[in-house]
């Protein structure tokens, strides 16, 4: 099956995706990967910390179907992927204060100047994530593109309500998790530098 490499998240039909309701058991921390592709990272997170729920938000429907099929076949019930658009759907998927951790692993770069507005990590997204985070919840970003890392750092440092887990305006030295996304593993195998950021919600 051919799956498109990039889709424009601002395309009209991606602004009104009919959402499937999420089934999240009460009392378990919820971790969410934004742009989860085939959910490799979440499968590995579930193996690392099984007592949590994991949700992948992905705009390519075929990848969502593929990921959910794979989780079913592997008998991994706590990982689910949902066909949705990070840019508009997060408040419809999660209630305020309900998410323990957001991961943004290797977001699409959109290098061309006229396409920059399609980049997902910016002021608006970070503002939304802060509202959805539980007390002590975290936002973790990884990318191999320095320009994206700087954009994300600017938005995260200036959002308010977040504390950089290393120190202000600093990158982490290494991942705090054993899980790896597909792109992350590829970069590590080729020795490509990865820029990592982690922030924790501060008490209001």
Ligand X SMILES: C[S@@+](CC[C@H](N)C(=O)[O-])C[C@H]1O[C@@H](n2cnc3c(N)ncnc32)[C@H](O)[C@@H]1O
86 forms part of the interface with ligand X (CB under 6 A): yes
- Cα 22 to the chain's mean position, in Å? 16
Residue 67 has φ and ψ, to the nearest 5°, of: -65, -45
Instruction: Give the 3-state secondary structure percentages of the chain, helix then strand then coil, rounded to 5.
Output: 35, 20, 45
Which of 70/163 has CB closer to ligand X?
70
DSSP 64: H
∠ CA 164-90-92, rounded to 5°: 145
137 forms part of the interface with ligand X (CB under 6 A): no
Q: Report the residue from 30, 82, 90, 120 that binds ligand X according to the rule CB under 6 A.
A: 120
Residues 171-200 that bind ligand X (CB under 6 A): 181-184
Q: What does each C-alpha distance from 94 to 57, 148, 176 come to in angstroms?
A: 11, 25, 25
44 forms part of the interface with ligand X (CB under 6 A): no
Catalytic residue among 108, 144, 147, 151: 108
166 forms part of the interface with ligand X (CB under 6 A): no
58 forms part of the interface with ligand X (CB under 6 A): yes
Strand boundaries in the chain, DSSP class E: 30-34, 53-58, 79-83, 99-105, 133-143, 162-164, 195-201
Q: Which stretch binds ligand X (CB under 6 A): 52-60, 128-136, 148-156, 193-201?
A: 52-60
Which of 86/133 has CB closer to ligand X?
86
Residues at the contact surface with ligand X, assessed by CB under 6 A: 9, 35-37, 57-60, 85-87, 105-108, 120, 181-184
């Amino acid at each position: 099956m051919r799956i498109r490499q990039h889709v424009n998240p601002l395309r009209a039909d991606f602004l009104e995706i009919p959402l499937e309701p999420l089934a999240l058991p009460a009392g378990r921390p919820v971790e969410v990967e934004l742009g989860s592709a085939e959910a490799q990272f979440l499968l590995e997170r579930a193996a690392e910390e099984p007592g949590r729920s994991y949700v992948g938000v992905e705009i390519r429907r075929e990848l969502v179907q593929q990921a959910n099929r794979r989780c079913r076949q592997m008998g991994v019930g706590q990982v689910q992927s949902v066909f949705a658009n990070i840019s508009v759907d997060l408040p419809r998927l999660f209630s305020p204060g309900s998410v323990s951790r957001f991961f943004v692993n290797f977001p699409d770069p959109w290098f061309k100047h006229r396409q920059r507005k399609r980049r997902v990590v910016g002021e608006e997204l970070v503002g939304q994530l802060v509202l959805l985070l539980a007390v002590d919840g975290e936002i973790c970003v990884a990318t191999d593109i320095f320009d994206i890392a700087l954009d994300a750092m600017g938005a995260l440092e200036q959002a308010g309500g977040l504390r950089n887990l290393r120190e202000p305006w600093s990158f982490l030295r290494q991942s705090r998790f054993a899980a790896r996304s597909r792109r992350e593993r590829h970069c590590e195998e080729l020795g490509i530098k990865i820029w990592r950021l982690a922030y924790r919600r501060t008490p209001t």
